[in-house]
Amino acid sequence: MTSTMMDQLRTWTEEGWLRPLDLAFAQFLIRLDPQAPALLPLAGALLARLEGEGHTCVALDDLLSAPERLLDWPAPELATLATALGDWPHAAAWTETLAQSLCVQITERNTSDPANSAETPLVLSAARLYLRRYWRDQQFIAETLRQRAQQRVADTVNPEVLRPWLEQLFPAPDEPGDELPWQKIACALALRSHFGIITGGPGTGKTYTAARFMALLMATSSTPLRIVLAAPTGKAAVRIDESLLSAVNTLPQLGPRSDMAAAFARLRPARTLHSLLGARPESRRFHHHAANPLELDVLVVDEASMIHQEMMAALLRALPPTARLILLGDQDQLASVEAGAVLAEICQGSGMYDAETCHYLQASCGATPQPNDSSTSPLASSIVRLQRSHRFNAEIGALADAVHGGHPETAIRILQSAQTSTLAWQSAPTIHQILNLAGTETAHGRVWQAAGQPPPKDPQQHGAWVKAILKDYADFRILCALRQGPWGVTGINRAIEDHLQRQGILQSHGLWYVGRPTLVTRNDPGLGLSNGDIGIALPDPDRRMRVYFPNSDGPPRAILPSRLNHSESAWAMTVHKAQGSEFAHTVLVLPPEDSPVLSRELLYTAITRARTCFTLIAPRARLENTIQRQTRRMSGLHAALRNARH
């Protein structure tokens, strides 16, 4: 029977429904246990396939009840799969069958590794099947965060003493009407324990609040604190530095002993998590870990929705036990590219505060949330969701809310009734529309025009010229749901470059040409570049081509094109790559054909990249389907957190 199952897995691999990697993992399991039941290679192949889609486990009830929701397979293949799964119709049958295999450890519920357990490649726990490393990371994250959230800082400021400081930092209510001052509450809660989350949509003031939290720490600490800023990507790291600088400029002076501007100026620029932990090339290992922890007192991580499970576990292992960890991010945005949806899982059940927390908030903030200790998460009292966006105008905000709420009729009505230039919708997409948007009336058009001019000879004038071009480019961006195909990043980049060549703007037939926007696709510590950094190819004062990258500490950085071994054109980019960024005008292109990547979270993320204008290029049917499709990654982290409290 096992050989028959392997034949079926090979057929699915040849047809493209499984990856070669999935088949190889099933074969690996059979080599470890040649007498295993046929369920073992099937379970292993499906687990590997779904891990590639971002799931950290297979929830058996979900798979058995509706495999079509998890696998984008055609009906005949799904029917064949359903027949195979029919031999093991419920989770108890999986447990009974897989218990016979040497490759699987069965646990009753989400608990840590038994002391003498064998290192089996698979773990079946609480009706969820895991690769062991994902299960081990999940248990470690749950237990560590629970301990941090419940561990009160030894020298926490007395709430009555804290209250005037908070009133000075937040002099006016940050919410209208009778709503609670959530920014003040977030600051107070972050101050009292070793772990906190400040979540909320774009423009709700997460970095603004974090800056005030850091200012409060600096003002109240008896010794200088080592505060470190980080983000998952280089682009997000640059953004938190920019946002923090803006927030610091509005800080009041907290007492005679603290010079806030000088204290913040001493902070190092934000780093990527890979750089912070000391990633080792071609390895999953990091320089910093439990035996060699990071040297810091406070770590603030922005864009936490992009942190995958393995990275979160590595970060927590490297964090000193006494250090504070503050995560900033939007739990409703796209999850990480790799497996896990850590922020969304952690934030389930947030907004419920026990009586002790409410008493503390009344004393420190003058705010009294309704006590509610019914949350299943032990982290609930460490999480604050900011409510009010200060970035968008009413139309963009209303559209984002309609998409987030899963209301396609409302979203369509908002797009159709838009009375200003803020929103636009092209429901019959053509490539010509995209080329027009990227034409002379837009920021891209200004880049084309400037790139066709002779560069200034004077170094200062040249630096200003480059900065202006980089700023123009940063004001406008075309985002795509897909990477490949005529409506994906590769197709639209090619269409724009063909258009430039026909217009005589593109002066080279090679890879590099003046005006080419360039996206770095791999971290390059030697060049000081991170995955996601964007530069533009321009002539230097002597008309030699260089790729210029923004530099917050000085003039743009110039790098020889030949040194950029991992890069691509960036007239258009994926929504995933745009996370952590914002643009004055954002254009989103959805393909005419359906795709499993088209989801409510993707559309919401794209809309919230727009600062003043959003244009949608998508057929109505595709828009409706995208809003109705909500991504749910299978994970046991929330359940592990719930069990960790006992």
| Cα separations in angstroms, 390 against 80, 321, 386, 604 | 52, 35, 11, 17
CB atoms within 10 A of CB 68: 12
Q: Is the pLDDT reported for residue 644 higher than 70? A: no
- Predicted local confidence at residue 646, as pLDDT: 47
Find out whether 202 is annotated in a ligand binding site: yes
297 and 306 Cβ atoms separated by less than 8 Å = no
Domain boundaries, the chain: 1-138, 195-350
On the question of a common fold for 1-138 and 195-350, the answer reads: no
* Strand residues in 590-629 grouped as ranges (E): 610-617
Angstrom distance (rounded) from CA 273 to CA 311: 8
Instruction: Indicate whether this model's pTM tops 0.85.
Output: no
pLDDT of the residue at 178: 52
Residue 205 in marked binding region: yes
**114 has pLDDT over 50:** no
- In tens, the pLDDT along 29-76 reads 999 999 889 899 999 999 999 998 889 899 998 888 888 888 888 888
**Assigned token pair, 437:** 């948007």
CATH class (in words) of the domain with range 1-138: mainly alpha
pLDDT digits (tens, 9 = 90+) for 471-491: 888 888 899 988 888 888 999
The one-letter amino acid at 165:
W
Q: Where are the alpha helices (DSSP H) in 35-108?
A: 39-51, 60-65, 75-85, 91-98
Is 605 marked within a binding site? no
When pLDDT is averaged across residues 102-112 and rounded to a whole number, the result is 73
End-to-end CA distance of the chain: 42
- pLDDT bin (cut points 50, 70, 90) of residue 121 is very high
Q: What is the pLDDT of residues 351-397, one digit of tens each?
A: 678 888 888 888 888 877 777 666 656 788 888 888 776 666 678 88
Q: How confident is the model at residue 116 (pLDDT cuts 50, 70, 90)?
A: very low
* 467 Cβ contact partners less than 8 Å away, ≥ 6 residues apart: 550, 555, 556
Q: Please tell me the predicted confidence (pLDDT) of residue 157.
A: 67
Residue 200 known to bind ligand: yes
Residue 471 annotated as part of some ligand binding site: no
Q: In CATH, what number does 195-350 get?
A: 3.40.50.300
**Residue 349 assigned ligand-binding role:** no
Percent of the chain with pLDDT over 90: 15
pLDDT of residue 23: 93
- Confidence at residue 451, expressed as pLDDT on a 0 to 100 scale: 62
Indicate whether 275 pLDDT > 50. yes
Q: Which of 519, 553, 522, 511 is CA-nearest to residue 536?
A: 519
Q: Sign of dihedral through CA atoms 66, 67, 72, 78?
A: negative
Distance CA 179, CA 210 (A): 20
Tokens standing for residue 644: 């960790």
pLDDT, one tens digit per residue, over 18-36 is 999 999 999 999 999 998 8
